[in-house]
Amino acid sequence: MKKPWYLLVALLVISALALTLVAGCGGGDKKPAEAPKAKGPSGTVMIYTSIYPDIIELIKPSLKKQFPDLDIQWFQAGTEKVMAKIAGEIEAKKIQADLIMVADPSYYLTLKNQGLLLKYDSPNRKDVKINKDAEGYWTGVRISNMIIAYNPEKTPAPPKTWKDLLDPKWKGKIAMPSPLLSGTAYVAAGELSDKYGWKYFEDLKANGLKIEEGNSAIQNKLLRGEYAAVMILEENILKMAGKGEPVKVMYPDDGTIVVPSPIAIFNTSKNQEAAKAVLDFFLSKEGQEVIVKGWMHSVRDDVAPPQGAPALSTFIDKAIKPNWEKLSKENEKTKETFRSKVLEK
């Protein structure tokens, strides 16, 4: 005998109520499923840079935390060696770098004019206060300064200007890095020759100026007392002073050489979205704080200066104003002039 239809409906209603009660008693503490997190950039990104190897090691953990799925690789060398490597890759039509971070800002003008850079207006560019390409092809990422350094234990009354280095009392005890190897030294040679003429460097040579391959050799000889006063990167001296070494920075009264080095993306990059993300990080406040831990100044004004250094605003007004266009166009001419007037004499 079939059950009346209304009994079947009643059974269905009772079953539905029972399921609702079970869910209410046993499943009330369940959280709704979380939406899957957006996956960050992956693959490989290659950075060509002149940043010192120990600073790269300082940067790596922050990058790994920010981009756990991205393999960030580095080629590190002096600016001139990086430029030589890129020149070879341009010739072979096979640029390996995705991002470039070298010291000489004028080189980015050359790359832009060659049509090799990617135009990218990073959302963090609005917070960068120095050296931004108007069209977005590069953005300042770190500020290095060429300064006069001395050992106060051996040189209690140091020179206060670049011209003071011509004083005979410093004869044979002054040095600078080679502009043929160092991007920041190239900028310094170009700016000081513009300000005082090439005779300035001829007179420095006559006063016993020594040319070293890089800043590291100079800092060690300064510490030992072989040099009394040197033209060198501020970051080298700040790092040594931070370790307790007796060295000090003098910001010359006739103009610190401020070098706001940029970051840019090659338009040949095979992983442009990842390269953009890395660039964004370097321009962020967090990324700039990592830069400052490497003894360089930030391009933002909401990040404190490196340990032991004054704020950039205290000496930038007196800084020598560079002609980046000229430095870009006259690279070989400037180096050849330096070679003939200083290195070969």
Residue 331 scores a pLDDT above 80: yes
pLDDT of residue 21: 35
Residue of 55, 61, 62, 114 whose CA lies nearest to 83: 114
Bridge partner residues of 148 (DSSP): 231, 250
Predicted confidence (pLDDT) per residue in 190-233, tens digit: 999 999 999 999 999 999 999 999 898 999 999 999 999 999 99
Parse the chain into domains and list their residue ranges: 43-143+260-313, 144-257+331-343
The pLDDT assigned to 39 comes to 76
The CA-atom distances, in angstroms, between 331 and each of 81, 129, 186, 335 are 14, 26, 8, 6
pLDDT of residue 38: 63
Q: C-alpha distances in angstroms, 180 versus 89, 148, 158, 196? A: 20, 20, 27, 20
Max Cα distance, the chain (Å): 125
Does residue 3 surpass a pLDDT of 90? no
In order of 95, 114, 181, 262, the CA distances from 81 in angstroms are 15, 19, 7, 17
Q: Report whether 208 contacts 172 (CB < 8 A).
A: yes
Per-residue pLDDT tens over the stretch 252-302: 999 999 999 999 999 999 999 999 999 999 999 999 999 999 999 999 999
**Residue 40 has what pLDDT?**
87
Task: Reply yes or no on whether the pLDDT at 59 is more than 70.
Answer: yes
Residue pair 288/298 in contact (Cβ under 8 Å)? The answer is yes
Assign 7 a pLDDT band (cuts: 50, 70, 90): very low
* Mean per-residue pLDDT, 29-37: 53
CA torsion angle 96 99 103 105 (round to 10): 110
Q: Are 88 and 303 in contact (CB under 8 A)?
A: no
Range with lowest mean pLDDT among 28-37, 50-59, 73-82, 147-156? 28-37
Q: What is the mean pLDDT of the chain?
A: 90
- Residue 345: pLDDT above 80? no
Cβ neighbours, 10 Å, residue 224: 10
Confidence at residue 312, expressed as pLDDT on a 0 to 100 scale: 96
CATH level 3 topology of 144-257+331-343: D-Maltodextrin-Binding Protein; domain 2 (3.40.190)
Long-range CB contacts (within 8 A, 24+) of 308-312: 308/238, 308/241, 308/242, 308/249, 309/234, 309/238, 309/249, 310/251, 312/143, 312/258
- pTM surpassing 0.85? yes
pLDDT > 70: percent of the chain? 89
pLDDT at 37: 56
Q: What was the pLDDT predicted at 173?
A: 97
Percent of the chain with pLDDT strictly greater than 90: 86
**Token digits for 31?**
């959280």
pLDDT at 262: 98
Domains 43-143+260-313 and 144-257+331-343 share a fold: yes
Whether residue 161 is predicted with pLDDT greater than 70 in this model: the reply is: yes
Question: For strand 99-101 and strand 43-49, is the pairing parallel, antiparallel, or unpaired?
Answer: parallel
Query: What is the predicted pLDDT for the residue at 224?
Result: 92
C-beta atoms surrounding 260 within 10 Å: 24
Contact 103, 259 (CB under 8 A): yes
Mean pLDDT of 35-62: 89
pLDDT of residue 12: 41
CATH class of this structure's domain 43-143+260-313 = alpha beta
Q: What per-residue confidence (pLDDT) applies to 36?
A: 53
pLDDT at 28 over 60: no
Does residue 109 surpass a pLDDT of 90?
yes
